[in-house]
């Protein structure tokens, strides 16, 4: 049953991850100076990879958009189509259903960001591609951003799961998502283990809220 649920989620959300990955790689191409997308900033002005500020800003924006799109597709769209009733009447627990959804969503989000950062870092580390020096510690802020923004995904999932009548009220968890994303980022500045601990605690709290919202919601 778990395998069937995972495959269902992949069929329905893989295209969102693919769009997000294409957008990330197109931006990486621009950051490398290839002008893949004309209206995005290019590295033609000679900034230092990962340290010029433009990469993190656009990477953050694209990561947030991908996390929200995945979370809302798995919840709000399911609710609109009436799929929740079908899923919750399957011979399995609500924990398994939500676990399959959350597992697929967070893995897709993490993979897209991981590939984008590694591709840009590989380009930056290749001699002759740019005149700036490159050290792998320069990617640290990108990894922090990638990890911290992961909190936006369960916040979007919670927003789509909450039994709110008004769409604006339902999106309240996303208002706090920015704060949730800042906390692990700040913690990682002190020590990466502290940042990971904060991420795990916040993630566990959000999953608990998602389970509570799913159990108390009237799906009829």
Confidence of residue 44 (pLDDT cuts 50, 70, 90): very low
pTM (2 d.p.): 0.86
Mean pLDDT for all residues in the chain: 81
Predicted confidence (pLDDT) at residue 93 exceeds the cutoff of 60 = yes
Which token pair is 30? 């621009």
Rounded Cα gap, residues 186 and 208, in angstroms: 23
Q: How far is CA 182 from CA 13, 148, 189, 197, in A?
A: 26, 7, 11, 14
Whole-angstrom Cα distance, residue 22 to residue 28? 10
Give the model's pLDDT for residue 146.
93
Q: Which tens digit of pLDDT belongs to each residue from 116-143?
A: 999 999 998 888 787 778 888 889 989 9
For the chain, the structural domain boundaries read 2-216
**217: pLDDT strictly greater than 70:** no
pLDDT at 70 over 70: yes
Instruction: Report the pLDDT value the prediction gives residue 214, as an integer from 0 to 100.
Output: 78
Segment 212-216 long-range contacts (CB within 8 Å, at least 24 positions apart) = 213/158, 213/161, 213/162, 213/163, 214/94, 214/98, 214/161, 215/94, 216/163
pLDDT category of residue 38 using cuts at 50, 70 and 90: low
Mean pLDDT, residues 55-64 taken together: 89
CA distances from 31 to 16, 66, 109, 122 (A): 22, 19, 21, 13
- Distance of alpha carbon 120 from the chain centroid: 18
Instruction: Dump pLDDT digits (tens) for 10-31.
Output: 988 999 999 999 999 998 888 7
Cα–Cα distances in angstroms (integers) from residue 117 to residues 86, 104, 144, in the given order: 38, 20, 11
Sign of CA dihedral 82, 87, 90, 92: negative
pLDDT exceeds 60 at position 41: no
Complete DSSP assignment for 89-146: TSSS-HHHHHHHHHHHHHHHHHHHHHHHHHHHHHHHHSTTS-SS---GGGGHHHHHHH
Higher pLDDT: 112 or 173? It is 112
User: What pLDDT shows up at residue 165?
Assistant: 55
Q: How confident is the model at residue 180 (pLDDT cuts 50, 70, 90)?
A: confident
Look-up of token digits 């566990």: 204
For residues 87 and 7, the model is more confident at 7
């Amino acid at each position: 049953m778990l395998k069937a649920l995972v495959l269902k989620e992949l069929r329905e959300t893989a295209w969102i991850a693919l769009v997000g990955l294409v957008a990330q790689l197109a931006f990486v191409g621009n950051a490398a100076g290839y002008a893949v997308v004309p209206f995005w900033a290019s590295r033609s002005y000679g900034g230092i990879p990962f340290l010029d500020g433009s990469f993190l800003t656009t990477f953050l924006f694209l990561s947030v958009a991908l996390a929200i799109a995945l979370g809302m597709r798995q919840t709000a769209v399911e609710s609109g189509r009436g799929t929740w009733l079908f899923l919750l009447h399957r011979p399995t627990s609500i924990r398994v259903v939500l676990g399959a959804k959350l597992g697929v969503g967070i893995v897709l989000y993490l993979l897209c960001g991981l590939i984008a950062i590694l591709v840009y870092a590989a380009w930056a580390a290749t001699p002759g591609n740019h005149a700036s020096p490159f050290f792998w510690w320069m990617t640290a802020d990108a990894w922090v951003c990638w990890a911290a923004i992961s909190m936006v995904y369960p916040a979007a999932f919670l927003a789509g799961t909450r039994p709110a009548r008004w769409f604006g009220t339902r999106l309240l968890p996303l208002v706090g998502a920015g704060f949730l994303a800042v906390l692990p980022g700040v913690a990682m500045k002190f020590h990466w283990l502290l940042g990971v601990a904060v991420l795990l605690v916040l993630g566990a709290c959000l999953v608990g809220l998602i389970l509570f919202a799913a159990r108390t919601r009237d799906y009829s």
